[in-house]
Structure 1
Amino acid sequence: MRFFTLGLGLLVLLPFLKVLAAPSTSSINSDITLLYYNDLDINTVSQHKGVLLLTPRSQPDADSSCAGLSETLLPVNETFFTTELATLLQYQVYEGAYSESQLYWVESNAAACNAVDSLGYVGQISCEIELPTLCSQSSAFDASADSANLLTVYANDLIVTGYRDQLSFRFEGIPYVDPPVQCVQAGAPDSSEDCLFLNIWTPYIPLDAATVSEENLKPVMFYIHGGAFTSGTGADPSLAGGNMVSRGDIVVVTINYRLSTLGFLALEDGKTNGNFGLADQIAALDWVREYITAFGGDPNRITICGGSAGAASVRALLGSPEAIGKYAAAIPMSNLAGSDYATTYSLYYTIPEEVQAAVYPILEEIGCNITNALACLTAYDAYDLVNLVNVARFIVVDGTIITHDELPLNGSAPVANVHTLMGYMRDDGAAFIGYPTTTNITQALIDQYLPTTVANSSLFVPPTGPNATLDVFNLTARVATDIEFRCLDQATAYSALKHDLFESIWFYQFNRSYQTPGFSPNYPVCDAPITAEYPYGDPSMEYFKCHSGELYFVFANLASSLPYRDDEDLPFSQQMVDVWTAFVRTYNPNPDPAYLLVRGYTSQLEALTSQDEWLPVTNETLTTTPLRTLQYQSFMTAFAEQEQCEFVGYPLDYFG
C-alpha cells in the first residue's frame, strides 16, 4: 500500500505484523503515556527529555516492560528529576491519575531499588512493591520510524503499527475506507488511487480500548485541510500534530479526502450526486468514532476543525444530517462566504447549476458531450482530469449530505448544537485578489470584480502613503476581506446567537501571521517588512495578515520551517496552542490558569493574567465586545467594519 505524501509512517495490517514484531500495550501489559515538557522552542529541544509512564508493577516487571519497548528504567538525573520530571508527575496528580504521595520506579543501583516521588526526589524501596513505572524515551525530536520505536495498536478488527518521536505516538497513512476507484490529486503525478488515509498523533495508548476508563481518554481535534477543494493534504508538515498533543494533552487527527473533479463531480444522472469529498470526511469521522479509543481519544469529545476549504467543510458538516451528532464542537478558520470567489464555499449549487458551471466546461475541454459524460470522464486519465483548466470543486445540494443551499442560520432547519470557535485573518481577502496595476481606485476595483460603489464612500478611504499602488491595494484588500470573509463570518455568529443554534460561540480576528512559503500571494505584502535589525521581518510593522497565515502558530510548527522573526513569535505560538487546545479540552478558549501552572507554562500564565479574558458572543457582549483580536497581547472589541459591511450589503442580520 503506497501513499505519495506519507513516507515515514507505518501501517501494518495482520498479514505483515509478524515480520515487524513491534511491541504493543498487550505485550507489556500496560497503558503507555508519553510525558514531555514542551515549551515549543526549537532552540531548547535538546534540553528536554521525554518519559514513558506505565501502570503499576513490581520492579523486576518494570525493568522487563521498559526493555520490551527498547528502553530502560528512567536513569536518575537530579536536575531533571526536580524540575521537568516533577512538573510532569504533578500533572498526573492534577489529572487525578495518581496521588501526591505516589512513588514511581526509576533506574536502580546494585544495592537497592529506586523510586521517585511526585516532587522528583529519589529514595530506596522494596523491589516487590507494585508502582507505576517511568521508562526512558530515547526516540528523538521528529524521529523517523525504526525498529526501536515501533508500537502496535489493536483497534477492534484492525491492527495498526506506528511509532513514537519525542513529542507523541504517531500513526500515519491509516486507510479509513476501501480505496476508491480514482483518488489522484492535482500537482502530484505519482499519487496513488488509494488516497483515503488519516494520521493520528496521541500522547496516550490504553491497554484495552474495551475497558479503558473514559476519564483517561483525551479529547480529539479532527482537522480538515484547505486547498480550494482542489489541493492540499493532511500530511502537510505545517499541520503535524505533535506539538499540540504534547503541550495541550489532546489527540490530533488529520485526514485526506477526494478533491477536484474526483471529489465533487455531480451529474444529472440520478446517481452521480457529487459531494464525494464530504462523504469521505464523514467516513473518516465515523472511523475515528469507532476506533479512536484504541489510540487514547474520546469519541464523545471530537472537535471538527479546518481552515479555508476545510472551514467550508466544517460549515457544511454543521448542517449535514449525515454528520450532526458525530462531534461536540467545531472550529471553522477563515470560512469563505459572500461575493465572487468566496460565494460557492457557503452558498451551494444545485446539481443542474453545477453541471452548467463546471461539467459543461470540463466536457468541452476534453472533447466529450453530456450524453455519455460519466463514461467519457471515467475513461479519461485521472491525473490529467484533475489538472484541467476546468474542474468540479463545488459543494452541491444532493439531498442527503447537503439538504439546503446554505447553512440554515435562520432556525428553519436543524444545525449541530455544538460549541463553536470561529474567525478570520485580519486581511484574509488580500490573498484572493491581484496586486493593482493602476492607481485609479475605480479601475482597480473593476479589475478585481469588487463593488465600485466603495470608491467614493467615506467608509472606504485609502491610506495616503509614499506608495500609491500599495495604498490602492490596502483599499481593495480591505473590501475583499469584508465581502469574502469578515462580514458574513460575523453575520454567522450573530444569527447563530439570535436563533440559539450553538451551545457557545467564540469569535476572533487573527492579527499576527507568518505566511507559509507554499502560499504567499502578492509577495511580499503578506510578509513582515525586512529591516537591518529584523532580517526575517519585523512583525511590529504593518503588513497584511493574509489567508492561512495563522497555521504555523496554531499548530506550533513554525520553527521547524522558518526562523523566529522577533521575541514574540514563540510566545504567541505558545499562546495560540494553549488557546486552541483549551477549546478542544473544555470548549472554552481561555486556558485554565491551574493547567498552565501545573504544566510549568509559567510565561504563558503571566501573559494570560496580563490581558483581558476572552468573552463569548452573547446577548450581553454582542453590541460591545464579541470579537477577540488575537495578537501577543490579545483584547476584546466590537465586531469589525460593521458600517462597511452594511454598505456592501452584508449586515450582521444578513442570514436572518
Structure 2
Amino acid sequence: MQLLVGLAGWLVYLSLTSHVLSVPSPQSIRSDLTILTHNDLYGNSSTRQAATIVLSARGSKSNAETGCKALQETLWDPADLAEADFLRYLAYEKAHDDIDQYWIRSRSNTGCKAITTLGKIKTVPCNKQLPALCSQSAPLSSTSSNNTGLEWQIAVRTGDGTVIGYRDKLSFRFLGLKYGSFPSRFTYSAYQAPIGQVSALAYGPGCIQSSCTDAACSEQCLYLNIWTPHLPSNARSSKKAVMFWIHGGAFMSGFGSDTTFDGGSMASRGDVVVVTINYRLSTLGFLATSQSGSHGNYGISDMVAALDWVQKHIEDFGGDKERVTVFGQSAGGASVRALLASPRAKGKFSRAIMQSCPGGMGYSLYPSIAEAANKTNAIYAANGCAQQDEAGRLACLQKADPAKLVKGATIWNFPVVDGTYLTSSELLLDGSGPASDVALITGVMHDDGGPFTSFSKSLNASQKLTDQGYDANDILGSGLFPVPQSGNATLDIFNLTARVTTDVSFRCPTQSTVFSAVKNEVFPVVYSYEIDRGLQLTTWSPNPTTCEAPMTAEHPLGDPNLPYWKCHSGELYYEFGTAIREGRQPRDQEDVPFSQYLLDTWTAFGRTKNPNPDMKFLQARGFTNTSAVLKKTTPWKPTTVKDLRLRVLDVQPRDEGFREVKQCEVLKLPTDYYLSSDHPADENPLP
C-alpha cells in the first residue's frame, strides 16, 4: 500500500513538473515580455483594439518567430496602421536604445518586414538583429469570464518558486499568491516565500467576515494578486512602479479579489504593476489583549508582511521595489495612515495615497490595549470564555467559532497601540515624530458622509443631529449650517446631516492632516484634493437614490450635471478604470474621460511622485483626452502653509482653498486640530 501511495505521489509530481515545463517564461523565451495596447477603458466596445506582445531580445526573424510560437502566438500583423500609433511608447521608454524597428509578420513573399515606432513598415534583411512584436490574441477578461487555459499561461521564477499565472488582453495576471503565514489565531503574521510550483490562476479565499463564512473565506487568507504589463527576463530589465492597494470596509469586510479593484486596466494604461491584498478583519484581525504575543493589529501585520513579499519578489514580476505606492480608501486609507505611523513599515514604500480616511478613534486615533479592554472582555463573555486568567480566556477564544467572532456588536475591529506595529496613539503630525521620506496625496469625496447618515423619522433637525451624536445647539446656532428649504423636510434634514457627517468624519480631519503635515514638514511633499464627480458602486449605494445622478429622458442612466451626492466610494470605478467592466455604462460623454484622467493622475504619482502626468508620456501613449484636460488647467501644485490649496478633481480640474473652514471650527475640528495636544479622541460617528 505504501508503495502504491508513493508511486501515486511521484506520478502527480511528474505531472505537475511536466506542466510547468510546458508553460513559457521570460527565461525560457530569453526575452522580456511586455503587453502593449492603447486601452482607452471602453473595453470590448473600444474602437482601438490593437494589442501586441513585445519581445525585447534582439534576434533574427526566425528567432522572433520561435519566441512568438512559444507563447502560442505569431508575429504581429498590423492590420490597421492607424492603430499602430501606440508603438510610439516604445521610443518614449527608450527600452531598446538605438533600435526603433521591430519584427512583424510578412503578408507576402516580398521579404522580411519590420515596423518602426512611428508605424512605418520596412523591408529588412531576415538575419538583422531586432526585437519583435507578437500577436496578442488573449481575450479581455471580465467579471464573468476568465480564460486561464494553457495557451495563455505564463511562468515566473521567483526565489525558490515557479509561479504559474496567465494573461488576458491587458496584462499578465497572477492571482491568489500566498504572501504570509501565522502560527495560530491572534498572532502576527510573517512573510512567506513561494516554494516549488505555485498556481496563481484563481483568487485565494477571502478573510472571514460577517458576509462570508463559507468555503470562499478562511482564516488562512493571506493572499495577494498581481497585474503587470511587463515580465523581465533578468535583473537588468526595466522596472515599473508598483501600486499596492489596501481595500476598505471599516476593518470588518472587504476582499483583495473584489473585481472593482481588478488591476488590469490600471496596470495596462498606467504602465505600472498593481498589487491587491487580503488582510485579517474584525476580531480575528484586531482583538487586543495584554497577553504576550496577542496585542492586536494582526491585520496591520498582514499588510507589512505583504509589503515584505513585494520587496523580495515584485522585481521578478516587473515591479520596482524602490517605487512602491501604498494606496487605499476608507479603512484602506486608514490603513495607509497606520502604515505611515508604523515603524515596521518604514522604508517599504515611498509614496502614499489616503482616500477618504475617516477621522476619530480607531481610524486616525489609536486606543491603548487598556482602553480596548471593555470590548475585549465583552468578546470573552459573548463566546463563553469565563476563565479567571486572561491566558485561559484567550486559549478559549482560540477555539471559538471564527464565524461568531466576526459577527454582531461584540467585535473589535480597530488598530491599537501595541508597541510593535503602532507605538504612538496617532500619526505624529505635531513635529514630535521623525520626518517621513514618503510623498503623500490625500483627500475626500465631496459628499463622503452621505452613506453614513439616514433619512430622519423626525422633522426636527435639532433632534436628528442630537440622535447622531452631534451638538445641535452649536451647529444650528452658528448659522453656518442652514437647513435647506426645498419643501421636502425629510430630504432637507438628510442633506444637513450628510453635510455635517462629511465635515466631521472626512473633510475636516483630512484638511487638518494636510495643514499639520506641511506646517511641520512631516512629508517631503503633500498634495490635497476633493473629488466633485462620483459614480457609485453597484454593490454599495446606501440611502438610494441620493448617491446616484438623477435620471432624465436625455440621460436615462443619470445626468451627472444635475445635483446629486458624490458619495463615499464614488471614485473607485474611476481610478481603477473598471466601470464598464463592472457593468456601469457611461452616463454621459465625460464619464470615461474622467476615469482616464483620474487613473492617469494616480499612476503618474506612482511613477514619479508627481500627480501631473508628463505630456510626452501622454502623447506617446495616445491619451488625447487627458492631454486636453491638462492643457486647460494649471498643474496640480503641492499644498504649503502659505497656500492651503486643494485640487478639485472634476471634468475640468481646478484649484480652491480648503473648504468648510469655518464649519470645521464650529465642529471643533479646526485646521490645526492635529497640532493641539489635547485634541479629543471621541468615538467616530461612522457605523
Residue equivalent to 2:336: 314
Q: Which moved more, 1:155-164 or 1:130-139?
A: 155-164
CA shift, 1:603, in A, is: 2.2
Residue equivalent to 2:465: 445
CA shift, 1:47, in A, is: 4.0
Residue equivalent to 1:361: 378
Q: Is the 8 A contact 1:427 1:481 kept in 2?
A: yes
Distance change in 2, residues 1:102/1:271 (3 Å): closer
Deviations 1:377-427 (A, max 9, x none): 111111222223321101000111100001110011225221000001111
**Cα distance in 2 for residues equivalent to 1:25 and 1:505:** 39
Q: Which moved more, 1:444-453 or 1:285-294?
A: 444-453
Match of 1:352 among 332, 353, 370: 370
Match of 2:540 among 493, 516, 519: 519
Residue equivalent to 2:37: 36
Q: Which moved more, 1:253-262 or 1:559-568?
A: 559-568
SS of equivalent to 1:212:
coil
**Cα distance in 2 for residues equivalent to 1:262 and 1:442:** 39
**Cα distance in 2 for residues equivalent to 1:13 and 1:139:** 29
Q: Which amino acid aligns with 2:639?
A: V
Residue equivalent to 2:628: 606
1:212 lines up with 2:236 in the alignment: yes
**Cα distance in 2 for residues equivalent to 1:563 and 1:89:** 29
Distance change in 2, residues 1:309/1:120 (3 Å): same
Q: Which moved more, 1:643-652 or 1:377-386?
A: 377-386
SS of equivalent to 2:612:
coil
Q: CA RMSD in A?
A: 1.8
**Cα distance in 2 for residues equivalent to 1:287 and 1:201:** 15
Residue equivalent to 1:281: 303
CA shift, 1:178, in A, is: 2.9
SS of equivalent to 2:423:
coil
Q: Which moved more, 1:628-637 or 1:589-598?
A: 589-598
Q: Is the 8 A contact 2:104 2:114 kept in 1?
A: yes
Residue equivalent to 2:172: 169
Q: Which amino acid aligns with 1:23?
A: P
SS of equivalent to 1:199:
strand
What pairs with 1:617-632 in structure 2 (closer than 5 Å)? 617-622=639-644, 626-632=645-651
Residue equivalent to 2:655: 636
Residue equivalent to 1:185: 209
Q: Which amino acid aligns with 1:26?
A: Q
1:422 lines up with 2:422 in the alignment: no
SS of equivalent to 2:551:
coil
**Cα distance in 2 for residues equivalent to 1:493 and 1:500:** 10
Q: Is the 8 A contact 2:478 2:666 kept in 1?
A: no
Q: Identity across aligned pairs (percent)? A: 45
SS of equivalent to 1:352:
coil
1:254 lines up with 2:276 in the alignment: yes
* TM-score, normalization by structure 2: 0.89
* TM-score, normalization by structure 1: 0.93
**Cα distance in 2 for residues equivalent to 1:101 and 1:212:** 18
Deviations 1:130-158 (A, max 9, x none): 10010000001114211111000001222
**Cα distance in 1 for residues equivalent to 2:344 and 2:99:** 48
Q: Is the 8 A contact 1:179 1:196 kept in 2?
A: no
Q: Which moved more, 1:435-444 or 1:385-394?
A: 385-394
Q: Is the 8 A contact 1:348 1:405 kept in 2?
A: yes
Q: Is the 8 A contact 1:224 1:307 kept in 2?
A: yes
SS of equivalent to 1:174:
strand
Residue equivalent to 2:518: 497
**Cα distance in 1 for residues equivalent to 2:621 and 2:13:** 37
**Cα distance in 2 for residues equivalent to 1:436 and 1:642:** 27
**Cα distance in 1 for residues equivalent to 2:574 and 2:624:** 19
What pairs with 1:213-232 in structure 2 (closer than 5 Å)? 213=237, 216-232=238-254
Residue equivalent to 2:93: 95
**Cα distance in 1 for residues equivalent to 2:242 and 2:67:** 28
Q: Which moved more, 1:199-208 or 1:264-273?
A: 264-273
CA shift, 1:361, in A, is: 2.2
CA shift, 1:352, in A, is: 1.4
Q: Is the 8 A contact 2:280 2:298 kept in 1?
A: yes
Deviations 1:603-625 (A, max 9, x none): 22112111232121023422xxx
SS of equivalent to 1:148:
helix
What are the ranges of 5 or more consecutive residues in structure 1 without an aligned counterpart? 1-11
Q: Is the 8 A contact 1:106 1:135 kept in 2?
A: yes
**Cα distance in 2 for residues equivalent to 1:13 and 1:599:** 45
Deviations 1:491-528 (A, max 9, x none): 00101001111111000011111111222111211111
SS of equivalent to 1:353:
coil
CA shift, 1:46, in A, is: 6.5
CA shift, 1:355, in A, is: 1.9
Deviations 1:225-254 (A, max 9, x none): 101111101110010111111111111100
**Cα distance in 1 for residues equivalent to 2:350 and 2:270:** 18
Q: Is the 8 A contact 2:287 2:297 kept in 1?
A: yes
**Cα distance in 1 for residues equivalent to 2:643 and 2:112:** 59
Q: Is the 8 A contact 1:430 1:544 kept in 2?
A: yes
1:401 lines up with 2:402 in the alignment: no
Q: Which amino acid aligns with 1:292?
A: I
Q: Is the 8 A contact 2:331 2:363 kept in 1?
A: yes
Distance change in 2, residues 1:300/1:386 (3 Å): same
**Cα distance in 2 for residues equivalent to 1:89 and 1:565:** 31
Distance change in 2, residues 1:320/1:538 (3 Å): same
Residue equivalent to 2:195: none
Q: Is the 8 A contact 1:173 1:199 kept in 2?
A: yes
Q: Which amino acid aligns with 1:376?
A: C
CA shift, 1:591, in A, is: 1.3
Distance change in 2, residues 1:14/1:232 (3 Å): farther
SS of equivalent to 1:350:
coil
CA shift, 1:76, in A, is: 4.0
